[in-house]
Amino acid sequence: MDTRLHTIAIALSLFATVTSAPAQTEAAKPAEPTKAPDVGKKAGDVCEDAVAETIRRMRGKGVQEVQFIGAQRSLTPTPGDETGVRGEGRYRSPAGGSMPFSYSCAYNTKTGATSGVLFRETGTARASSEQAWQPDLTNVSPAACETATAAALKDKYPRVGRIVFGSDSRQLRPAPNAHTSLEGKGAVERAPGMSAVPFEYACEIETRSGKVVSVKTSD
């Protein structure tokens, strides 16, 4: 073979090897990892849904427009699989006022469940254009409400021990059908010897007669 042709053949072979290397490198490049879901956003959304449900359960079906302030939401990792969520919001009461509140909740990243859902009203409801509600205390009896609440707790816990009511926690609110809602807090021994646990209660009272129409408890 001619020496020049042999040299050209070798050069072409080397060129083919060099130009094919980048293609092999590109083919061997690993796929980009899939991005993990935004656990923080999910924890916040699930907790806020649970808080809104709790507010409606505690303050009645007349509660409307439960809103949360996104800028106030904060998440704190806790030991185990839980994330603590705290924030603030506002809801509109049946009377038309706007009530601010703060909340806290724990979100389990494995089960997607919430626990320890709490909310606390942080101010006075902003009055609507209507005249502020004035409670009629003529026939409203805290004692009747607490007696009905104690009976409800005894039905719930047949071996109930002591039941203590915090008189300084009582609050009056307007209720549907021109009724009055008397709400408060206390502590209950679910059975003798057990540690007392806090609870909240709400009595719907027929304003004119003072009759306790319904009782709700939450502990």
Are 135 and 193 within 8 A, CB to CB? no
Residue 47 exposed, middle or buried by CB count within 10 Å (0-12, 13-18, 19+): buried
Tens-place pLDDT, residues 169-213: 888 889 988 899 999 999 999 999 899 999 999 999 999 999 999
Q: How far is CA 149 from CA 2, 47, 61, 142, 163, in A?
A: 111, 29, 20, 10, 10
Q: What is the pLDDT of residues 140-165, one digit of tens each?
A: 899 999 999 999 999 999 999 999 99
| Res. 2 pLDDT band, cuts 50 70 90 | low
Give me the residues paired with residue 188 across strands: 163, 197
Beta bridge partner(s), residue 118: 104
pLDDT tens by residue, 24-62: 444 455 555 444 446 778 999 999 999 998 888 888 767
Under DSSP, is residue 126 helix (H, G, I), strand (E, B) or coil? Answer: strand
Question: In this model, does residue 86 exceed pLDDT 70?
Answer: yes
Work out the burial of residue 131: count CB atoms within 10 Å of its CB; fewer than 13 is exposed, 13-18 middle, 19 or more buried.
exposed
- At 116-127, the pLDDT tens digits run 888 888 876 554
Amino acid 151: pLDDT = 95
Angle 133-152-211 from CA coordinates, rounded to 5°: 40
> How far is Cα 181 from Cα 176, in angstroms, rounded to an integer?
9
Q: What is the pTM of this model?
A: 0.43
pLDDT of residue 36: 41
- Where in 109-192 does DSSP place strands (E)? 114-121, 163-175, 179-188
72 has a pLDDT exceeding 70: yes
CA 176 to chain CA centroid, nearest Å? 25
Which pLDDT tens digit goes with each residue over 92-137? 876 667 889 999 999 998 898 998 888 888 876 554 444 456 777 8
- Give the C-alpha separation, 59 to 66, whole Å: 12
* pLDDT at 128 (0 to 100): 47
So what's the pLDDT on residue 179? 92
Hey, where are the domains in the chain? 1-30, 39-121, 142-218
The whole-number pLDDT of residue 87 equals: 94
Amino acid 125: pLDDT? 58
